[in-house]
Amino acid sequence: NSDTGCRRPLNVLYPVPLPQFDMVHIITWNVGSATPPDDITSLLGLHVGDGNTDMYIIGLQEVNSMINKRLKDVLFTDQWSEVCMERLSPFGYVLVTSQRMQGLLLLIFAKYFHLPFLRGVQTETTRTGLGGYWGNKGGVSARMSVYGHTICFLNCHLPAHMENSDQRMEDFESILQQQQFEGQAATGVLDHDVVFWFGDLNFRIDDLDMQVVKSAIDNNKFPMLWEKDQLNMAKDSETVLEGFQEGPLKFSPTYKFDVGTNTYDTSGKKRKPAWTDRILWRLRATAPALGAGKRGSISGLTSGTKVTQHYYRSHMEYTVSDHKPVSSIFTLQFPYKVDIPLVTIIVEDEWNCVADAIAKFKMAPNFSRSSWDWIGLYKVGFKHHKDYVGYVWAKQEEADFHRQEHEVTFTEEELPKGSGDFILGYYSNNMSTIVGVTEPFQIQLPTSGLDNSSSDSSDFSSEDDSTVVLMKTRSRSPSPRKSKHRSHRSGSPNRSRSGSPAQAKIKELKVTDGSPSSTTKTPTVVSFITYIHYTVYFLKWKYTVSDAILFRNSRLVCPEGLLCLELFY
């Protein structure tokens, strides 16, 4: 491009080399409806290694799910997800998926360069409270294929109280039976190559009285408590627990503490300390080993997977809940079954002017492409797949079907102001995940002539009460009737999210002042307060929704005439 003078010999930045995947960090915490503490650095272990972990799995229980709080969490990102993303994203971790069921929350993070090899991501929920009608107890899970090996993460909150050990086992069996995934391989939880089971499992210490338990804790005589731990005892008799392994409990019982202290329960109930918060794992069995007893029937995996636990500990420094968080780090060793991304993106190592903003990509023969796929431009440290600076549609023309290499161009409005390190990611609409990424490259554009409007996808976690975009959808394909107007870039000149790929089949809800001039369409207008009251009435809940008065002067505007809030699970 001699007119701009910015073109130079092509210095191609090829795709990310095949990364090494081996370390998984799992955290479980019953947060007791508390807000997140100011600093979760030690909980995440970021002071040790600072980002060497490949994947973080965070399972929370009793996240505040009161009706006013739950409503806000549906419209915006909940506080716990936000604080985890804020702390992990600077180290290159991206939210892969999340699942919420009332107080149960499961978050899966991975290094961005692993995203193309995390496939078939699905989530499930199972209610077990009130005979299966209420989600205060139950399980939420996420499954995926990691470099070709199937892994399932199951976060559970089982029934409380000493006498309910049998009920806990029944609920666990019910969760395993009900959670079924789509696809030919690993349709049930236990069909996966590796299962990690964790949460507030609520198992208690039988027989021993309070003073004996506390004396054993004070003197670090944990083995005498292990023998009376209900979960350890159940492993000898419950078939459903066959194959599940757990590291030694070398830390003090994590329940129940006076909030704000490290003192065990001094209330009138004086609950006996117990290891309610646990992390276990299971390898898919092949054949029983010769001479193996009930607890020795696992001989390994046909896929050659090996799981090693490196530490298993509690975190006494956190006092916002009556439970202490528990964490564990594992290494997974397995031969890669998948080592080629579905989409390979090639870019120059620097973009110094708009004319440089070109990306080429190739697709694997088995990749099922969609007309609604797109390539996002992400600033290094992005939080999730919607957290892009700009994007272009990976448009598929009839002439493209037989081409091996494709090319897209970012226009000026899709590019960031100033300079920084960025990556490109190819988002597959069919797979609902990023299937190809580049290594970081630099963008150093002249600031003059660039739009001053911001284009980051902050609506995922925005708390702006004037505009709300509901992100919880199953598909991101724009409405078919809009296909005639689709181009390589957004048709939105002001770079708002309304023209973004994240809008695909999404119902956009805007809170306005109710004035006729606030929208150019003639949408269905529904009073927010009325909607809430009718929802509560319909569910026959005996709640007084006093907090909803906050929205008394607002209106929910839905262009499609449909309200799609998933308020209650």
Query: 276 is written with which tokens?
Result: 């309610």
Percent of the chain with pLDDT over 90: 62
Q: Which residue, 225, 434, 215, is CA-closest to 343?
A: 434
Indicate the burial class of 80 (C-beta count within 10 angstroms; 0-12, 13-18, 19 or more).
buried
Q: How many CA atoms, within 13 angstroms, populate the side-chain half-sphere of residue 56?
A: 27
Query: 47 is written with which tokens?
Result: 């002071």
- Beta-strand relationship, 326-333 and 306-314: antiparallel
The mean pLDDT of 95-101, rounded to a whole number, is 97
Q: What is the pTM of this model?
A: 0.79
Cα 321 to its chain centre, rounded Å, is 22
Q: Yes or no: say if 524 and 564 are a contact pair by the CB < 8 Å rule.
A: no
Whole-number Å distance between alpha carbons of 457 and 471: 11
pLDDT in tens, 223-244: 999 999 999 999 999 999 999 9
Q: What is the pLDDT of residue 554?
A: 34
Indicate if the pLDDT at residue 436 is higher than 80. yes
**Higher pLDDT, residue 146 or 529:** 146
The mean pLDDT of 50-74, rounded to a whole number, is 82
Q: Which residues, listed in sequence order, are joined to residue 28 by a DSSP beta bridge? A: 59, 326
pLDDT class for 69, splitting at 50, 70, 90? Answer: low
Output the average pLDDT for the chain: 79
Lowest mean pLDDT among 10-14, 70-74, 196-200, 502-506: 502-506
Other residues' Cβ atoms within 10 Å of the Cβ of residue 424: 27
Q: Which residues, listed in sequence order, are joined to residue 226 by a DSSP beta bridge? A: none
pLDDT in tens, 401-428: 667 899 999 999 999 988 999 999 999 9
Percent of the chain with pLDDT over 70: 69
Query: 267 is written with which tokens?
Result: 């209330």
Q: Is the peptide bond before 256 cis (omega within 30 degrees of 0)?
A: yes
Q: What is the pLDDT of residue 72?
A: 65
Query: 230 is written with which tokens?
Result: 């209900």
Q: Which residue, 193, 110, 183, 94, is CA-closest to 148?
A: 193
Q: What is the pLDDT of residue 16?
A: 62
Q: What is the pLDDT of residue 486?
A: 34
**H or E element at residue 244:** strand 244-245
Other residues' Cβ atoms within 10 Å of the Cβ of residue 33: 14
Whole-number Å distance between alpha carbons of 284 and 300: 7
Whole-number Å distance between alpha carbons of 337 and 409: 33
Whole-number Å distance between alpha carbons of 554 and 518: 12
pLDDT in tens, 455-506: 444 444 333 333 233 333 333 333 333 333 333 333 333 333 345 665 544 4
